[in-house]
Amino acid sequence: MAALGRMAANLAHQIRNPLTALGGLARRLAGLKIDEKGLRYAAGINTEAARLELVLNNMFAYVQPPPLVLQRRNISEAVEECLRSFAQVIGERGIEVQRDYGSVPEALFDNRQFTLALKNVLANALEAVGDGGLLSIAVTREGEGEESMVAVEVGDNGPGLEAAALETMFEPFFTTKVGEKKVGLGLTIAKKIIEDHRGAIRVSGTPGRGTTVTLTLPETQE
């Protein structure tokens, strides 16, 4: 397993640098005086580069998870950071995003790892909704005192899931039907990251009425 981790780290390093350059070049291309078709192509390159980077980060987190570096941060800002990475897809597909951040205290979390977990949840939700669909994100507080948790709730109005699927969706390469596109390691990684924070991840949904995934983190790690 250690050898596999070293190989993954080396592979990630070799892929990440040209991938970052590819995304940067696509953004520069979009800033030039090119026609609408060229702009769409540049946006597509940038979107696919971001998708590949997420897959790469998931692979690395699965075989060689880094230690947590906890800092007290505003979790709503982390949510917005994640949403910005999907702005192109959201805009192109006409997806409505409803936000409800309320007044929530800061939480202790590793920003890099938490945003990876949330990006995986968001990616899954965006795949579930159709064009012109709805994505809702709420940040709330659950419990009081030492049991107080900060919760990030991601809902979609996609097709929803059967009860059996809800129980297995965090398994690696989960899929709901034979022949359907598999979701890879994303939700498996999200679950591990949140549990490493001493938090929890839960999912609820009804066929035909969408799915809601909730990530909870303790306000403190005392």
The answer to whether the beta carbons of residues 182 and 172 sit under 8 Å apart is no
Average pLDDT over the chain, rounded to an integer: 81
The predicted-structure confidence for 136-161, as pLDDT tens digits, reads as follows 999 998 877 667 889 999 999 988 87
> Which CATH number does the domain 71-218 belong to among 3.40.50.410, 3.30.565.10, 3.10.20.30, 3.30.1330.10?
3.30.565.10
User: What local confidence, expressed as pLDDT, does residue 5 receive?
Assistant: 59
The number of residues in the chain equals: 222
pTM: 0.77
Other CB atoms within 10 A of residue 28 CB: 10
Using pLDDT thresholds of 50, 70 and 90, give the confidence band for residue 169: confident
Using pLDDT thresholds of 50, 70 and 90, give the confidence band for residue 221: low
Other CB atoms within 10 A of residue 107 CB: 28
Largest CA distance in the chain: 57
The answer to whether the beta carbons of residues 75 and 150 sit under 8 Å apart is yes
Alpha-helix residue ranges (DSSP H) falling in the chain: 2-30, 36-63, 75-85, 87-92, 111-128, 163-168, 186-196
The predicted-structure confidence for 69-115, as pLDDT tens digits, reads as follows 899 989 999 999 999 989 888 988 899 999 999 887 688 899 999 99
Domain positions in the chain: 2-63, 71-218
